[in-house]
Amino acid sequence: MSTRKQFKDIVPPLMPEILDAVKDLSFESPTPVQETVIPYFISHKDVNVIACTGSGKTLAFLIPLFQILWNKSCSFSRGQVGGVIISPTRELAMQTYSVAQRFIEKCDKMHLVLLTGGIQDDVKQLSNDKGLILIATPGRLKDIMERQQGKLSFRELEVLILDEADVLLDLGHAATINFILSKLPKQRRTGLFSATEADGVSALCKAGLRNPIKVKIEIKNRNQIQAVPVQLKNYYTILPSDTKLGFLLRFIHLHPQEKIIVFFLTCAQVDFLTSALLSLNILNGIKLRSLHGRMVQKKRVKTMEDFRKPEPGVLFCTDVAARGIDIPDVDWIIQFDPPQDPAFFVHRVGRTARAGKKGQSLLFLESTEEAYVSFTRRRGVPLIEWEEKWDEAMRKESLETLQSIRERCAKDRDLYEKSVTGFVANVRVRKKGSLHLQAYRNHDCNFILRFDDLDLASLARSFALVQLPKMSEFKKKKIEYEEMGIDVQTIPYLDPVREQARQERLKKEAQARTAKALKEPKAKSVKRSREEAEEESKKKKKGKHEKIMNEWEELQEEERLFRMFKQKKISEEEYTRRLLSSKPEEEESTFEKRFEKLHKDHQMLRNTRKSRQSHKLVQKGPSR
């Protein structure tokens, strides 16, 4: 007979309605984190809870929240908020909402609101005569608080829950969280729940909690502390980038009756490989779905609902599904690439082996990334090497599949663009991640996942590239990659509407280039003519100026000679000779005429000088 403590044995005792809701959820005994946290929280203590994924943190805060609010539900009126649960993603918020609905069904004194839809839908839900319990992402809650000032009151708030508090900060929500905290009353119960211990959470505790009780649930295996459940087995295998797809396909075919989640680095990579495999139709009827943060909300919800059904299948996703989301009976977690943020490793593998069930994970690493194994072991995640090694036969099989995808890319522009986008995004995330991981120097892994060690040719083959795109990251690298040698501009969209739009766009671009080419010579000609005219004008001005200066110099020289002649410093013959040498064209003029002209010029020069001197005196003013 089991001697484990049951929910009805928790002190202070839980309300009958809560026990009924827990029973409907098929839970009888609390997990260690629930057994520890619930009594503290019900007793009005702030808690900072750190426990591994799948340990039951959701019930650990929902049970105290409803216990506290139901005891005070009669004091809430229209528009007053009694409880707030903040989740990092819409998927996690929806999951929490679905569990919370089981409790609200037992007591209709409060109204449960999920704030993840459109503004109008959210505002409509808030129009209720009962007290409110809000479940929201940080951005949506902040938006509602700003839009509904005066209509929504947080003065009576009793409980605030920050679910996955570490990821709330990792995703850049710190400023939003601080804004929300500034609008909430200090007299409240606050709970922080995380799977990992982070510096940001400690700072948040100081700002948002009052004398919190820290609850850290550790798992020991052979006297060593683990960050993952004991029933979770984690494996790794070393293989090249261009062999990963072949290995993955073989693995999926060997586990057709199991539920598998495959994690990738980027949304673009998920889109490309999902489209490529579905177009080849090589999964033998196994259902393949995709999920990432850039999908529209309705499609994300539909994908999660379908994958939660009790049937086998494969989900290609990014880390949007790695935090807190509870998908029943996941058998395997495959990590196609190691996460660039080490904290996400625990959250990825935490999608399996939940609530005491068994689970397994497999990590793909390249030969240059083997240091990641010891790195994760130091962080409390033991890894076991996968028995089956890759061989040339597997690599050949993988390359044949990639070649089939490549040939399809050469005929389908949509798939071609997805392959290029996926490759570019993957390269840039890897380069950024290699810099990020260098911060973990205390783990003796200064150069984990080094971008400089990456085999870019193998990575390019894994994306079935028709040709290698031009990227700044490749400037100092020589990549030996065999391209298909076709003009990628000729690759059409299979969708006639998209292809017609593309052709029209290309036609307009060609016309614009032609117009520009015709316009440029004319513009250059106009510019050249303008420059020549300006140069000619400068020459004319310069010539006119030089002529004036020459005439002035000649006049001065004649005056000097005339003055010397008057002072009898030179004879008449000498004077005539010098004057004629400066003006040979006047040789035939008589001396009297020249003398008369020179006398007039001399008088004009003297008058000019007197005029200048008098002008200066006028400007200077009378002396005092």
Q: What is the pLDDT of residues 466-503, one digit of tens each?
A: 999 999 888 878 888 999 999 999 999 999 999 999 99
SS (HEC) of 404-459: HHHHHHCCCHHHHHHHHHHHHHHHHHHHHHHHHHCCCHHHCCCCCCCHHHCCHHHH
In this prediction, residue 297 has a pLDDT band, given cuts at 50, 70 and 90, of confident
Among residues 187, 217, 247, the one where a domain terminates is: 217
Q: Identify whether 425 is part of a domain.
A: yes
Are 52 and 113 members of one domain?
yes
In the prediction, which pLDDT does 384 show?
94
Q: What is the pLDDT of residues 109-142, one digit of tens each?
A: 889 999 876 666 677 778 777 889 999 999 999 9
In the predicted structure, residue 407 carries a pLDDT above the cut 90: yes
Same domain, 321 and 174: no
Closest CA to 479 of 466, 462, 460: 460
Average pLDDT over residues 367-380: 87
The confidence score (pLDDT) of residue 225 equals: 58
* % of the chain beyond a pLDDT of 70: 82
| pLDDT of res. 340 | 79
Tally of structural domains, the chain: 4
Quote the pLDDT of residue 222.
55
Same domain, 124 and 211: yes
Q: Which two structure tokens, joined as six digits, stand for 148? A: 């509904």
Q: What is the mean pLDDT of the chain?
A: 84
Residue 266 and residue 122 share a domain = no
Phi/psi at 347 (5° precision): -75, -30
- Token pair recorded at residue 170: 């990792």
Residues 86-111: what's their mean pLDDT?
A: 90
Q: How far apart (Å, rounded) are the C-alpha atoms in residues 49 and 193?
A: 5
Q: Is 314 in the same domain as 388? A: yes
Mean local confidence (pLDDT), 510-536: 74
Q: How many Å apart are CA 292 and CA 287, to the nearest integer?
A: 17
Last residue of a domain, one of 166, 187, 217: 217
Residue 550 located in a structural domain? no
- Tell me, yes or no, whether 458 lies in a domain: yes
Q: What pLDDT, on the 0 to 100 scale, is given for residue 544?
A: 66
Assign residue 180 the CATH number of its domain.
Answer: 3.40.50.300
Answer yes or no: is pLDDT of 447 > 60: no
Task: Based on the fold, state whether residues 137 and 32 are members of the same structural domain.
Answer: yes
| pLDDT tens per residue across span 563-605 | 787 777 777 777 777 766 665 444 445 555 555 666 666 666 6
| 514 in the same domain as 463 | no
Question: Which pLDDT score, from 0 to 100, does residue 617 have?
Answer: 52
CA angle (84 as vertex; 79, 85 as ends), nearest 5:
145
Using the predicted structure, report yes or no on whether residue 533 has a pLDDT greater than 90.
no
Confidence of residue 89 (pLDDT cuts 50, 70, 90): confident
Evaluate if residue 441 carries a pLDDT over 50: no
User: Does residue 97 belong to any structural domain of this protein?
Assistant: yes
pLDDT, tens digit, 9 for 90 and up, residues 246-264: 999 999 999 999 999 999 9
Out of 255-259, 347-351, 511-515, 552-556, give the one with best mean pLDDT: 255-259
C-alpha distances out from residue 457 to 243, 328, 367, 465, 477, Å: 12, 39, 15, 10, 11
The pLDDT value recorded for residue 623 is 45
What does the pLDDT look like over 312-350, one tens digit per residue?
A: 999 999 988 776 677 888 999 999 999 877 778 888 998
pLDDT 10s digits, 409-439: 999 999 999 999 999 999 988 887 654 444 4
| End position of a domain, from candidates 190, 217, 244 | 217
Structure token digits, residue 78: 């229209």
User: Helix 392-409 and helix 267-280: axis angle, to 10°?
Assistant: 90
For residue 42, what are its two tokens? 């019900």
Q: Please tell me what DSSP assigns to residue 347.
A: H
Residue 354 CA to residue 231 CA, distance in Å, equals 9
Residue 1 in domain: no
Range in 432-441, 497-506, 542-551 with the lowest mean pLDDT: 432-441
Same domain, yes or no: 274 and 382: yes
Query: Which residue type sits at 515?
Result: A
Q: For residues 579 and 586, give the distance between their C-alpha atoms in angstroms, rounded to a whole number.
A: 9
Q: What is the pLDDT of residues 138-190, one digit of tens each?
A: 999 999 999 888 788 999 999 999 998 888 877 778 889 999 999 999 999 99
pLDDT exceeds cutoff 70 at 205: yes
CB 150 within 8 A of CB 78: no
pLDDT of residue 614: 59
Q: What is the pLDDT of residues 35-76, one digit of tens each?
A: 999 999 999 999 999 988 778 899 999 999 999 998 886 778
pLDDT at 200 over 80: no
Whether 2 has a pLDDT exceeding 50, the answer reads no
Is the pLDDT assigned to residue 307 strictly greater than 70?
Answer: yes
> Same structural domain for residues 583 and 446?
no
Is residue 541, in this structure, part of any structural domain at all? no
Between 600 and 101, the more confident residue is: 101
Whether 142 maps to a domain, the answer reads yes
609 pLDDT band, cuts 50/70/90, is low
What are the Cα distances from residue 178, in Å, to 44, 95, 138? Answer: 22, 25, 10
Non-local CB neighbours of 328 within 8 Å, separated by 6+ positions: 308, 310
The answer on 389 and 437 residing in a single domain is: yes
Q: Which residues contact 67 (CB under 8 A, 6 or more apart)?
A: 14, 15, 18, 42
In this predicted structure, the answer to whether residue 526 has a pLDDT above a threshold of 80 is no
Query: Are residues 77 and 159 part of one domain?
Result: yes
**Domain that residue 513 falls in:** 495-528
Is 305 contained in some domain? yes
pLDDT of residue 436: 46
Same domain, 234 and 373: yes
